[in-house]
């Protein structure tokens, strides 16, 4: 096939863990000595798969291992995976910021990467000067920028401020200007990280639209990395799923996302609750720990499948190990696409000083609110403005079973994140 | 399949010798922008602005005049102290500034280097080019003093034809500081010790360079040590050309040239090897 735009073969990247410094010189000398004798680098053999959670005894770790894939021209490929799966490392290699340890990347045409918008912007320079600065950093020459300057400024919507130093710009204006330059780069291959997370909704839409346009109408190839399943789904054609530095799934974007979510959900298919017996495994910090989390209808028995007419109790048992001031527990309910359904905080029910000891929280989700499907519970705790004592942690999932029939002859699943019972009043002859 | 042509190929560490100068040339507009950025932003929001270009050397020269000239009584080859110190200081400052800045290029630019690729050589190059502005302005200051002394005092200044070598001297200094800086910055990505060495190293090097004393005042048996310093012949040649005193020697100058070429090549190679994976070690 002649329309492969980018081909990646056996790509691997090894990192050294821990302190860089002491010991490097001896490793360097050893490596050099092996090289002189024509032997293989002794440190390439060791190294483990990259799993953040497990404590490894090797100093070396593979951030990427045996990555192979191809992308056809004009395609938009989504790269998804958990934090630390190797997505950013892959992007860094593609954008030549860092080199691979083994393997090759072959590409047709210029690769431009957008790991950040507005790289090289200097606050003291004017908008115009910064367009040139940023453009040349990304590999355009002055002539190219000159011919596109009007378009760029128009896309960014900052023409009035073109000769103002950008330190006077709002942060949104700066992002728009940065993206506008990048969007007019016209590379054959565009590599985009989650830069779109910044900027307002309107701008995000504009940016996604631009990427679609670039791929569809100009036949350019886009590689897009994101945690936001919704934008990946709407933008990409195909996807790859990365896990611990390897590709574990490769297919259409819908299949990839489904596979990812299924994998993720598997872990939560507990019997409606988890209890951490070993204090070392408990999520939290030295001040605050989770002991047990479960969902229930009667506050006692674990339950993971509910009917939409059930009240759902979410019970969280915690231990406060050091006295806390103004601490609050926040709880987010997510749907299967990681969309936040709602957020709730213990804030108004907490005392300002919390002594050490055991605390049980119970949250009640009213009946007839949630729709059919799987939901996730994410917990986070902290003292606002002081510190986090429990980072956002997905602890549990539960399912809402099919809506029970209420008068209708056949049950249907209505689309929507929630399905509350809405009161309808219908008056005939209302005049 | 294999007949397909690829425009971009990314492979593990390139060999030591694959310096892609054509690519550097392709990015020349970036070099231009970086230099422009330095010009535009250097004295933004300062009260005195470009006057700082003058204040620095003038104060340095005043201090030298008092400490080394008056108190210590070090010879200035019979020249007015101000002219003697100023001519050495102006050149030395250019070298020291360029060396200092290129020696931290990886550290100073890690944010940009971590986000986008361009030939990293552009960054140190832009530093030595930007430095030329300051050098130029300070040379004008020197010219001002020369004219003053020529017209308003009895001092006899002999300008030698060797002054025409000035552009070559500047190129030599730029290349030397670039080469040394690139070596240091490459090594500091892994071994931070060099940062400390550099801080006082440049300071000490000043004393091994005939800036505050003439080479002729160094006892004969130690002169070779001072001549080993490649900056020596540059400063001496300049003083010989512009003030008429100093030791001019083609031999010494050729030594400096060879030294510089070797350092520049070495620096480029090491720098080129480091740029590929410095993001992982810095």
- Is the CB of A97 less than 8 angstroms away from the CB of B117? yes
Predicted confidence (pLDDT) at residue B142 exceeds the cutoff of 80: yes
- Is the CB of B7 less than 8 angstroms away from the CB of A116? no
- Is the CB of B29 less than 8 angstroms away from the CB of A141? yes
Q: Scan for tokens 């933008």, then name that residue.
A: A235
DSSP state of A197: G
Mean pLDDT of the region A250-269? 77
Tell me which chain A residue has its CA closest to the CA of residue B10. Answer: A105
Chain B residues interacting with chain A (CB cutoff of 8 angstroms)? 4-13, 26-27, 29-30, 32-34, 36-37, 40-41, 44-45, 112-118, 190-192, 276-277, 279-281
> How high is the pLDDT of residue A39?
66
Higher pLDDT, A407 or A15: A15
CB B244 within 8 A of CB B157: yes
Predicted confidence (pLDDT) at residue A89 exceeds the cutoff of 80: yes
Taking all residues of chain B, what is their mean pLDDT, rounded to a whole number? Answer: 86
Higher pLDDT, B8 or A80: A80
CA distance B4 to A3: 10
Distances (CA, A) of B131 to A115, A428, B96, B108: 31, 86, 10, 17
How is residue A228 written in tokens?
Answer: 């936001």
Cα atoms in the 13 Å half-sphere on the side-chain side of A202:
6
Q: Are strands A189-192 and A221-225 parallel, antiparallel or unpaired?
A: parallel
Mean pLDDT of the region A211-232? 81
Query: Which of B1, B10, B15 is the mutation pick for testing A, counting most A CBs within 10 A?
Result: B10
- List the one residue out of A144, A235, A153 whose CA is nearest residue A186: A144
| Residues carrying CATH 3.40.50.300, chain A | 71-263
Q: Scan for tokens 């200051």, then name that residue.
A: B141
Higher pLDDT, B267 or A34: B267
DSSP state of A370: B
Q: Are strands A324-325 and A353-354 parallel, antiparallel or unpaired?
A: antiparallel
> How high is the pLDDT of residue A1?
44
Predicted confidence (pLDDT) at residue B85 exceeds the cutoff of 70: yes
pLDDT confidence tier of residue A40, bands split at 50, 70 and 90: low
- Chain B CB contacts of A107 below 8 Å: 6-10
> How high is the pLDDT of residue A45?
55
Most confident of A212-216, A343-347, A392-396: A343-347
Predicted confidence (pLDDT) at residue A54 exceeds the cutoff of 50: no
Class of domain A71-263: alpha beta
CB A131 within 8 A of CB A174: no
> How high is the pLDDT of residue A407?
44
For chain A, give the number of residues.
431
pLDDT confidence tier of residue A365, bands split at 50, 70 and 90: very high
Predicted confidence (pLDDT) at residue B47 exceeds the cutoff of 90: no
Using one digit for the tens of pLDDT, what is the confidence trace for A285-301?
A: 888 889 989 998 888 88
Predicted confidence (pLDDT) at residue A52 exceeds the cutoff of 50: no
pLDDT confidence tier of residue A411, bands split at 50, 70 and 90: low
pLDDT confidence tier of residue A197, bands split at 50, 70 and 90: low
Predicted confidence (pLDDT) at residue A51 exceeds the cutoff of 80: no
CB A282 within 8 A of CB A306: no
Tell me which chain B residue has its CA closest to the CA of residue A90. Answer: B10
Query: Nearest C-alpha of chain B: how many angstroms from A105?
Result: 5
pLDDT confidence tier of residue A18, bands split at 50, 70 and 90: low
pLDDT confidence tier of residue A195, bands split at 50, 70 and 90: low
Q: How far is CA A153 from the centre of its chain?
A: 30
Using one digit for the tens of pLDDT, what is the confidence trace for A102-149?
A: 888 888 888 887 777 778 888 888 899 999 999 998 888 899 899 999
Query: For residue A368, how many other CB atoms are within 10 A of its CB?
Result: 17
Beta-carbon contacts of B148 under 8 Å, excluding residues fewer than 6 positions away, are none
CA distance B282 to B278: 6
Which run of H or E residues covers position B206? helix B193-207
**Secondary-structure percent of chain B, ordered helix, strand, coil, rounded to 5:** 70, 0, 25
Q: Are strands A324-325 and A305-306 parallel, antiparallel or unpaired?
A: unpaired
Most confident of A80-84, A348-352, A403-407, B230-234: B230-234
DSSP state of B113: H
Query: Nearest C-alpha of chain B: how many angstroms from A385?
Result: 27
| Residues carrying CATH 2.70.50.60, chain A | 273-400
> How high is the pLDDT of residue B126?
94
- Chain A CB contacts of B6 below 8 Å: 7, 106-108
Partner residue opposite B277 with nearest CB, options A2, A98, A108 = A98
Higher pLDDT, A400 or A204: A400
> How high is the pLDDT of residue B175?
95
Mean pLDDT of the region A77-88? 83
How is residue A230 written in tokens?
Answer: 């919704």
Distances (CA, A) of B170 to A43, A89, A125, B21, B277: 45, 42, 29, 22, 32
DSSP state of A126: B
> How high is the pLDDT of residue A20?
47
Predicted confidence (pLDDT) at residue A408 exceeds the cutoff of 80: no
Predicted confidence (pLDDT) at residue A49 exceeds the cutoff of 70: no
CB B28 within 8 A of CB B57: no
What are the backbone angles phi and psi of residue A256, rounded to the nearest 5°? -65, -45
Mean pLDDT of the region B214-241? 89
Query: For residue B171, how many other CB atoms are within 10 A of its CB?
Result: 12
Q: Domain A273-400 belongs to what topology?
A: Coagulation Factor XIII; Chain A, domain 1 (2.70.50)
- Chain B CB contacts of A63 below 8 Å: none
């Amino acid at each position: 096939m002649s329309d492969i735009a980018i081909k990646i073969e056996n790509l691997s990247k090894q990192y050294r863990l821990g302190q860089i410094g002491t010991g490097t010189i001896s490793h360097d000398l050893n490596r050099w000595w092996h090289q002189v004798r024509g032997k293989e680098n002794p440190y390439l053999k060791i190294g483990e798969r990259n799993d953040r959670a497990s404590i490894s005894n090797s100093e070396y770790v593979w951030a990427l291992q045996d990555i192979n894939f191809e992308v056809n021209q004009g395609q938009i490929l989504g790269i998804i995976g958990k934090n630390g799966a190797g997505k950013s490392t892959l992007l860094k290699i593609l954008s030549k910021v860092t080199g691979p340890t083994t393997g090759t990347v072959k590409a047709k045409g210029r690769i431009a990467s957008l790991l950040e918008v507005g790289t090289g912007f200097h606050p003291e320079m004017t908008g115009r000067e910064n367009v040139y600065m940023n453009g040349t950093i990304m590999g355009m020459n002055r002539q190219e920028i000159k011919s596109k300057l009007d378009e760029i400024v128009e896309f960014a919507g900052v023409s009035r401020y073109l000769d103002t130093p950008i330190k006077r710009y709002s942060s949104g204006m700066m992002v728009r200007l940065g993206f506008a330059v990048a969007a007019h780069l016209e590379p054959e291959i565009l590599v985009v990280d989650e830069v779109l997370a910044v900027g307002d909704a309107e701008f995000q839409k504009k940016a996604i639209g631009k990427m679609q346009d670039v791929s569809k109408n100009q036949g350019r190839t886009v590689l897009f990395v994101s945690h936001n399943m919704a934008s990946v789904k709407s933008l990409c054609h195909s996807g790859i799923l990365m896990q611990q530095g390897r590709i574990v799934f490769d297919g259409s974007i819908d299949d990839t996302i489904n596979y990812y979510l299924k994998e993720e959900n598997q872990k939560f298919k507990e019997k409606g609750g988890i209890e951490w017996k070993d204090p070392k495994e408990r999520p939290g910090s030295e001040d605050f720990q989770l002991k047990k989390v479960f969902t229930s209808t009667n506050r006692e028995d674990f339950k993971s499948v509910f009917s939409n007419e059930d009240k759902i109790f979410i019970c969280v048992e915690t231990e406060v190990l050091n006295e806390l001031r103004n601490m609050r527990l926040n709880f987010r309910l997510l749907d299967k696409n990681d969309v936040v359904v709602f957020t709730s905080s213990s804030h108004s029910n907490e005392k300002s000083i919390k002594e050490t000891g055991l605390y049980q929280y119970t949250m009640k989700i009213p009946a007839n609110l949630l729709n059919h499907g799987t939901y996730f519970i994410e917990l986070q705790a902290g003292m606002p403005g002081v510190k986090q004592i429990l980072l956002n942690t997905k602890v549990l999932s539960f399912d809402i079973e099919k809506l029970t029939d209420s008068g209708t002859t056949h049950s249907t699943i209505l689309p929507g994140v929630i399905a509350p019972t809405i009161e309808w009043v219908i008056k005939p002859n209302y005049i | 399949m294999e007949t397909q042509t690829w425009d971009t190929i990314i492979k593990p560490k390139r060999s030591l010798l694959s310096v892609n100068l054509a690519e550097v040339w392709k990015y020349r507009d970036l070099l231009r922008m970086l230099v422009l950025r330095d010009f535009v932003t250097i004295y933004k929001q300062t009260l005195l602005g470009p006057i700082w270009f003058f204040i620095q050397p003038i104060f340095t020269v005043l201090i030298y005049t008092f400490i080394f000239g008056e108190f210590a009584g070090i010879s200035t080859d019979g020249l007015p102290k101000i002219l003697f110190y100023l001519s050495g200081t102006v050149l030395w400052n250019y070298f020291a500034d360029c060396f200092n800045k290129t020696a931290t290029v990886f550290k100073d630019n890690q944010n940009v280097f971590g986000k986008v690729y361009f030939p990293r050589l552009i960054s140190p190059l832009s530093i030595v080019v930007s430095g030329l502005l300051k050098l130029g302005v300070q040379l004008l200051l020197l010219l001002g003093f020369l004219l003053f002394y020529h017209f308003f005092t009895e001092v006899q200044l002999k300008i030698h034809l060797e002054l025409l070598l000035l552009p070559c001297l500047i190129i030599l200094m730029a290349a030397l500081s670039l080469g040394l800086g690139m070596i240091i910055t490459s090594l500091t990505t892994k071994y931070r010790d060099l940062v400390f060495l550099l801080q006082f190293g440049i300071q000490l090097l000043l004393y091994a360079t005939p800036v505050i004393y003439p080479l002729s005042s160094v006892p004969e048996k130690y002169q070779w040590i001072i001549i080993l310093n490649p900056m020596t012949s540059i400063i001496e040649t300049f003083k010989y050309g512009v003030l008429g005193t100093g030791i001019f020697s083609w031999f010494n100058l050729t030594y400096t040239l060879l030294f510089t070429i070797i350092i520049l090549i070495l620096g480029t190679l090491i720098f080129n090897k480091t740029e590929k994976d410095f993001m992982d070690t810095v």
